Structures are given as structure tokens and as C-alpha cells.
Structure 1
Amino acid sequence: MITTSVAEAADCLKKGQVLAYPTEAVWGLGCDPFNEKAFREILKLKQRPIEKGVILLAANVAQVEHLLTSLSTEMKEKVIASWSSRTSEERATTWLLPADEQIPSWIKGNHPKVAVRVTTHSLCVALCHAFNGFIVSTSANPAGLPPARTLQEASHYFSSELNYLNGDLGSSQQPSKIIDAETGEVIRA
């Protein structure tokens, strides 16, 4: 299915299906992070090992507030500022945050932390709101191939195996940088 309806796309996620959708810089694959079967379908499509973990994408800080509680006040403010004060052309930031018991082990992979990004991409914000929570966001490509940057590229990789939310890609030229919120280490520059 290819749709431009955010409500239809959110329904796909709620039904345990995988969805391809445009993000800030590349197309992503998403699912309900609490649905292990859907998550394993993403891994199969991408030929990605579960050990690597994936990013969670949220519409606002409130959706991931519980993951910020163990950070220092200064770091919490820095993380929130990176999400909220970014222009659409600026590269997004994904933060590695201490995972609490609400985050399924398959989302983290072999890591004690979880990768989280609050997006300013209007379609992704609308999708997370319609889904009523954060979603999985991993690049739409099989392992070793470049991430899809168009609906055509995504559908070339995955054909009719997926549902697609058609829309505009964001203005960022690169996928998000990834930073460990506790150590400050830059994981992906």
C-alpha cells in the first residue's frame, strides 16, 4: 500500500505492519517498537543483526521524557535544546540515553542504552502523534546499500513487501549524528 494519509500509516503500525516513510534526510523503516514480530520483520528486510539496535523516533520530548530522568539537569537541557532549536536544514541529533525497563531488549540490541531522536520533520511528527507514541526509525535499505532517498528507491529495495507513507524528505543532507548523552562521545559524526 502507498498512502499519503498519516492516519492510514499509523493504522499500519498499530496492526503490527512495517512502514517505509520519509524522515529528515533519508527514508526510514518503522514499526511499533513493542511489537517484536514487526521489529524482526524489519531486521529480515534489512538483513541487519539484532545486536546493532535501532533508533526510536518521537514527535516531542513528552514521548521520551522517562528516558531523560537519569541525566544531569545540564545534559537534559542540552539534549532537549538539540531537538527543539534545530532548523529543518540542520542535521538532526540522535542521543544514546539510559534505557529504562519500558524499552524492549530487541530495540537496544547488545547495548545498555537506547538511541532516541525527537524529530522536527512535520510528517514524522504527525505520524508519531497519530500512532500515539514513538516508533522505530532505521534507514530504508538492505545492509550494505545506500539508504533510500525517494519512494522509488525504497520500493525498489522492498517492492510490495511494505506499506509506504509518501511525502517529502526533509532538507538535511545527512542522517542524524549520534551522541552518547552520558559520556559526550560522538558515535556517528
Structure 2
Amino acid sequence: MNEEINKAIQILKEGGLILYPTDTVWGIGCDATNPEAVKKVYQLKQREDSKALICLVTDDRMLKKYVKSIPEAALTIIDVADKPTTIIYDDAQNLALNLIAEDGSIAIRIPDDEFCYQLSRRLNGALVSTSANISGFPTPKSFKEIAPEVLKGVDYVVNLQREKTCANPSSIIKLSNSGVVKIIRK
């Protein structure tokens, strides 16, 4: 696993895209602070950049680097969630501007996955994580379902867990600083 992390980190630091297994589905990833890399993700997915992407961070300490004010409810949800849960926070900061939604929010998940944890830790920052498909097409459930244009469109494909059939995408909850909770995806 260490060798794969080293190769992926090198690509991420050079502004490249990786294809990697996450705690949910195979993801296209890049350094979340690099606007050029984020632009490449949108181009590869053929997705409008007005549709925000999800980021992964290692823990709540790293989360604080990217969200100005974390609602207390978020920490509770992170602690008690029994499946991968992405939370959309208000007031994103220190991220590529083209990654932040028009309303200033950002979707972030703390994955329960050793590879993702080590990748984000070694990058020392947030990692973009969006499903490995072209926009409008189904999310691949396994590595072999990933479209050839996605495989060719990234700079590095992580050679781990290729036989794994992925779970469903994460749940998504929007938590506004005003206390409003909205379930976006169960």
C-alpha cells in the first residue's frame, strides 16, 4: 500500500488526477487546493463546474482547515454515522475556488478507509473524491465497470482493491450554520 500511496501523492502534487478506491465507490481524485487539477476533474467527468464535488479529509482537525465554522451537530453525525456520510458545510475556505459551490458551501467526508486516510494525511490536505464516471452515466460498482475514457483520462490508476465490489455512494446531509438540516441523498 505504501508504494501506491507514494505514486499517487507524486501525481497529486504535480496537479494530476488519480483513480482510486474509496470507502464507498471508485473515485477520481486530485488536490482539492489546486484549481487547475479541479478543472481537469470537471472536464474528465464532462460536468458543469457549478455542481460541486466531494472532498475527503483525515479527521475533524483537518476539517477545520476547510470549514470556517463546524456545526456541533456535524461532529455528532460523524461520530454516530453507521455508513459513509458526507456533510455539506457552509463557509468553505482554503480550497480551490472552482471546488466551492456558488453558495459558499463544500461537501466533505471523513472516510473510514486506511488508504484514503493515508493519502489525505500524506498530501497534508483535502482530496477531491468524485465517482469514476462521466456525468449522467451510472456510478461504477466495481473497477471493471469504469469507462475506458475515465481510465485514460487520469494520470495514475491506484493498483489496490480492483476486485472489490463497491458499496453505494455516501449519504449526503446539508448542515447550515443556522441549524437547518437537509438530507440530500440517503
What's the TM-score once normalised by structure 1's chain length?
A: 0.84
SS in 1 for 2:181: coil
1:167–1:104 Cα change, 3 Å: same
Q: Offset at 1:181?
A: 1.7
Q: Offset at 1:67?
A: 4.7
Q: What residue is the counterpart of 1:153 in the other structure? A: 145
Q: Which amino acid aligns with 2:79?
A: A
What's the TM-score once normalised by structure 2's chain length?
A: 0.85
Q: What residue is the counterpart of 1:188 in the other structure? A: 185
Stretches of structure 2 that go unaligned for 5 or more consecutive residues are: none
1:100–1:122 Cα change, 3 Å: same
Kept after mapping to 2: 8 A contact 1:79/1:181: no
Q: What residue is the counterpart of 1:22 in the other structure? A: 21
1:9–1:72 Cα change, 3 Å: closer
Kept after mapping to 2: 8 A contact 1:94/1:179: yes
Q: What residue is the counterpart of 1:60 in the other structure? A: 59
SS in 2 for 1:125: helix
Q: How many residues align?
A: 180
| Residues 1:139 and 2:137 aligned together | no
Q: Which amino acid aligns with 1:181?
A: L
Q: Deviations over 1:2-56 (max 9, x none)?
A: x961111111101100011011221101101121111111111101000011111
Q: What residue is the counterpart of 1:77 in the other structure? A: 75
1:71–1:130 Cα change, 3 Å: closer
RMSD: 2.3
Q: Deviations over 1:84-106 (max 9, x none)?
A: xx5xxx53100011224323321
Q: What residue is the counterpart of 2:122 in the other structure? A: 130
Q: In structure 2, how many angstroms separate the alpha carbons of the residues matched to 1:106 and 1:68?
A: 16
Q: Offset at 1:155?
A: 5.6
Q: What residue is the counterpart of 2:159 in the other structure? A: 166
Q: Offset at 1:128?
A: 0.9
Q: Which amino acid aligns with 1:177?
A: S
| Residues 1:120 and 2:139 aligned together | no
Q: What residue is the counterpart of 2:44 in the other structure? A: 45
Q: In structure 1, how many angstroms separate the alpha carbons of the residues matched to 2:170 and 2:76?
A: 16
Relative contact order, CA 8 A, sep 6+: which one is greater?
1
Kept after mapping to 2: 8 A contact 1:93/1:178: yes
SS in 1 for 2:146: helix
Q: In structure 2, how many angstroms separate the alpha carbons of the residues matched to 1:50 and 1:103?
A: 14
Q: In structure 1, how many angstroms separate the alpha carbons of the residues matched to 2:60 and 2:138?
A: 30
Q: Which amino acid aligns with 2:111?
A: T
Q: Offset at 1:113?
A: 1.0
